[in-house]
Chains A and B, each alone.
Chain A
Amino acid sequence: MTGGGIRGAVRPIAGLMVWGAHFGALYAIHAVACERDFARLTWIGLGFVPGMIGAATLAALLALALLAHPSFARGPWPEGEPDFRTWLTAAACAMAATAVVFQAMPVIILPVCVNGH
């Protein structure tokens, strides 16, 4: 009787925590770039904001893949335990990956530092 199961309770939401970190990073990168005029910087033809956001997105997707991999490897998932938590971990990673990709889309189609109105 060493612990009450914190790890088991937190692991299923780890994927969505990655989404949170990615979302925060996107907003921070963009805010700092516009406020401090980093948006003009380029590296091998890639703008600062698209480059940084692209890197953050790839890092988030990699983290999600690593988190989800053990769960996918264990499928298929019947309803009972411990498979429910395994399923939930994988499903939350899939949901987070969808949101991460969706979230990063504006960087492809919108100008970087134009005021909202």
Chain B
Amino acid sequence: MSDFPNSLPRPEGEFERLRDAWVQPAGWKRIGEVNNSFIGPLFLATSILFLTLAGLLGVLIRLQLAWPGVNIIDAATYNQVFTMHGTVMMFLFAVPAVEAMGIVLLPSMLGARELPTPRLGAYAFWIYLIGGLAFFSSLFVGAAPDGGWFMYPPLTSLENSPGINTDMYLLGIGFIEISAIAGAIELIVGILRCRAPGMTLGRMPVFAWAMLVFAGMVIIAFPAVIIASTLLELERALNWPFFLPERGGDPLLWQHLFWFFGHPEVYVIFLPAAGMISMIVPVMAHARLLAQNLVVLALISTAFLSFGLWVHHMYATGIPGMSLAFFAAAGFAVSIPSGLQVFAWIGTLASGQRVRLNVAGLFALGFLFIFTLGGLTGVMVSVTPFDWQAHDTYFIVAHLHYVLIGGMVFPLLGALYHWAPAIGTPLSERMGKWAFWLLFLGVNLTFFPMHISGLIGMPRRIYTYPAGLGLEIWNLMSTVGALVVLAGGIVLIVDIFSHFRLGKNGTPNPWDAGTMEWLPNYNWGPRSLPYPTSAYPLWDNPELAREVEEGRHYLPGSLTGKREALVVHAGSGEPQYVAVVPGAGVGHLVAAVGTAGFFLALTVKAVEISAAFGALALGGFFYWLWTGTDTGPHKVREGPIGGGLVLPTYASGPVTISWWAVGVQLVVSGAMWACTAGSYLYLWLVNGDARWAAGAPDTTLGLAALLVYAAAAGSFWLAARGLARNGRIPALFLLTALALMLAASGAEFLSLMEVGLQPEEHSHSAISWTLVCLQATHVVVCLMMVLYTQARSWCGMLDGERRVVFDNTRLFFLYTCAQGVAGLALLHLFPRLL
């Protein structure tokens, strides 16, 4: 009797059937491929392109500041250059780069065939690529943003920034955030549901934990900056005064919203990098990560606590001292889990028999040194009185670069050298060492002197400075350092171009690592899916690679002859069903072009063109959904995956990955609503009760809307009951539910109009209208989803068993009803309690 889930020899043709299911289109058709092995490396390469471009802007900044009175670029161009440097680094390099690493590595690391929503991942990549390149190009026509990467009003108000530069940021970056969120949804569902059988949360690699935490932070933090950007764009385009004090607005609202995103963003970038280090260090030491459970706890705790730090950036705004102390306390608290990780890495290195100091190891040590220095100055600036002195000086520039370069760039470069053999050919150790030392010395030479120039009093964001203040030598040293960094970057890029080739492993497991990405992997992951007994299955069983390759473990073939992913229980890793996942297509590409075009055309106020692109995007979405989503039960309804397990090939309801994806998307919607509601309450707080009490919307219409939302939810519930009982949707109930929802939304609008609230008048009216409009956008999405669901039903593509589309629509519909009720309570009830 075999000890393995599947015995040998494997049936003839099993491997070929698996290979054929995952074959990728050739030639130009490959552009429609969605597999992670294709999209992931493209994503990563694009992010490195943006790192290079933003890095060159950094060098330009340093050349300009090399000596007093240099005039390589004028002040206005300088403003665009430093804004683009920061914005591109943060939005177009850092977040996409870690997301890309996740897409590249996670399926094989988790022992999965594929991420669960590959077209969503591909869509995220294409809007990032198209939008990012268009956004960067704005620099060449003088239309790039110029208000700094955090774009504070009133500097960015229409009065002070009348051109399209600010709009380019608000709309251009806005949709790149859509890419980040789309990628995060894919990663969350993939990490929780697409793992090897039996890979419990406790056996999950730390990098997967870090990426899960990262994605969780993205879906909470990014909505804040989307709402902030929307409010500022509404103010600029429609004269709705959110940030104009003369009409009840407050510029500090922007700072609250932006930094609620912006501070966690630092950890969004750092935590995945910490996860990479937690994978590299055990391989360097050839020892299991010390206190892995505590490291997981540290990752999660850091993520949460980081949401209590946003006022760190607002110490100089006059907020009462006790409030500042709450945030300072959170700053000190977050040092506990951060320190815990550092000690775990040091302990792991100490516990190893022999430490291998390859290039990845050097970058890991470089990270420890640079990031720790950045962390120490971080503790300094979290002390409020010190921050008042250092605020907006080059001390802060030094601090943030030590944190971001040390905490993200070095780990990422280490990761490139570490994992290159897992996805292709290894990079050169010799050139890598040159690159490391040039970068390490260059970074310290560039940024350490900035601490001193900052303490002398040099402010940020100045395009030149007068001689005789003692700043010359420190600035010259920084510029020389930047050139050394440039040399290191060139060596790195030459190494990548001359040595890296994507493809099958040239050197299987060259570092003798213990995790599953080092199994022989194809573009469908490993041949068969092993049952991991710990976080280091290859160290537990040195024969695992051979066994997996022979097909002895789970799901060694394709049950349906199509691309499949094994879906497991989020906690226990117990296999639940085999999902058919989509392959190459064009819908996501069309949708990406449409989305990018829609936002970019809007930036230049080309409304008709924008509308045309919007229609194109919708067409792409619907084609994508109609042709590839919920293809229904396969003729092979179930099949054996090994070990006596027989799994279904189709599922519906809360167990499905698409239901989870919609659920995660609703968290995004909830975060957006919460940020808008928070803005409403903030503006009430700074304005006093009078305006809110006097301007309460019409009660009768509000009450009517409330009842109609409840009726809409009830009608949908009846439709669901009808589907469960009769196997078909009673059209009357579904369309009635939709009509009721539209009526409720209409009543909301009327309730504001009835009392004469004009959004241009005052921040109260503007934010009230914004809440109603946010709800209306959800109602419009519901409209499309319900009509789509009904159309599927009429076309015979939806019944009692094939009901994934219905379940997803129901989830979104009920959420929208609940959001509507919450909005009504806020707009109608709250002012009457004052």
Contacts and interface: CB of A to CB of B under 8 A. Distances in A.
Interface in A46-60: 49
Contacts of A23: 307-308, 326, 330
A90 B221 CA distance: 26
A91 B570 contact: no
A116 B330 contact: no
B323 A4 contact: no
B655 A116 contact: no
A16 B663 CA distance: 20
A13 B326 contact: no
A116 B192 contact: no
B323 A31 contact: yes
Contacts of A2: 653-655
A115 B315 CA distance: 11
A107 to B, nearest CB: 7
B572 A5 contact: yes
Interface residues of B, number: 58
A47 B328 CA distance: 23
Contacts of B200: 80-82, 84
Interface string B567-592: 10111110011000000000000000
Given A6-B654, A102-B333, A111 B569 contact: no
A92 B318 contact: no
B300 interface: yes
Given A4-B576, A5-B571, A31 B654 contact: no
B651 A98 contact: no
A112 B320 CA distance: 8
A79 B202 contact: yes
Query: Interface centre among B192, B322, B336, B570, by most A CB within 10 Å?
Result: B322
A79 B204 CA distance: 12
A81 B301 contact: no
Contact of B571 (A13, A30, A85): A85
B201 A85 contact: yes
Main secondary structure of the interface of A (DSSP, over half): helix
Interface in A1-53: 1-6, 8-9, 12-13, 16-17, 19-20, 23, 26-27, 30-32, 34-36, 49
A112 B316 CA distance: 18
A16 B193 contact: no
B322 A107 contact: yes
Interface string B286-313: 0000000110110011001101100000
A5 B570 contact: yes
Contacts of B660: 4, 6
Contacts of A79: 202, 293, 534
A38 B748 CA distance: 33
Query: Interface centre among A4, A88, A103, by most B CB within 10 Å?
Result: A4
Query: Interface centre among B193, B201, B296, B332, by most A CB within 10 Å?
Result: B201
Contact of B572 (A20, A81, A95, A111): A81
Nearest to A105: B329
A63 interface: no
Contact of B329 (A30, A83, A103, A111): A103
B571 A16 contact: no
Main secondary structure of the interface of B (DSSP, over half): helix
A106 B329 contact: yes
B823 to A, nearest CB: 19
B763 to A, nearest CB: 15
B301 A9 contact: no
B644 interface: no
Interface string B319-345: 111111110111011001100000000
A83 B294 CA distance: 14
A73 interface: no
Nearest to B189: A4
Nearest to A17: B304
Contacts of A31: 323, 685
Contacts of B300: 12-13, 16, 88, 92
B577 A30 contact: no
Contacts of B45: none
A50 to B, nearest CB: 10
Contacts of B336: 95, 98
Contacts of A88: 201, 293, 296-297, 300
A93 to B, nearest CB: 11
A29 to B, nearest CB: 10
A100 B436 CA distance: 41
A107 B324 CA distance: 11
Interface in B652-668: 653-657, 659-660, 663
Interface string B193-235: 1000000111100000000000000000000000000000000
20 contacts: A4-B570, A8-B571, A9-B570, A16-B301, A19-B305, A27-B323, A27-B326, A49-B322, A80-B200, A81-B202, A81-B572, A82-B571, A83-B202, A85-B202, A92-B301, A99-B305, A113-B320, A114-B321, A117-B318, A117-B388
Given A27-B323, A84-B202, A95-B336, 12 more contacts: A4-B576, A4-B656, A5-B570, A6-B654, A23-B308, A27-B326, A30-B320, A35-B686, A81-B571, A84-B293, A95-B301, A102-B333
- Top 3 closest pairs, chain A to chain B, by CB: A84-B202, A8-B571, A106-B325
Interface of A: 1-6, 8-9, 12-13, 16-17, 19-20, 23, 26-27, 30-32, 34-36, 49, 79-85, 87-88, 91-92, 95-96, 98-99, 102-103, 105-107, 110-117
Interface of B: 192-193, 200-203, 293-294, 296-297, 300-301, 304-305, 307-308, 315-326, 328-330, 332-333, 336-337, 384, 388, 534, 567, 569-573, 576-577, 648, 651, 653-657, 659-660, 663, 685-686
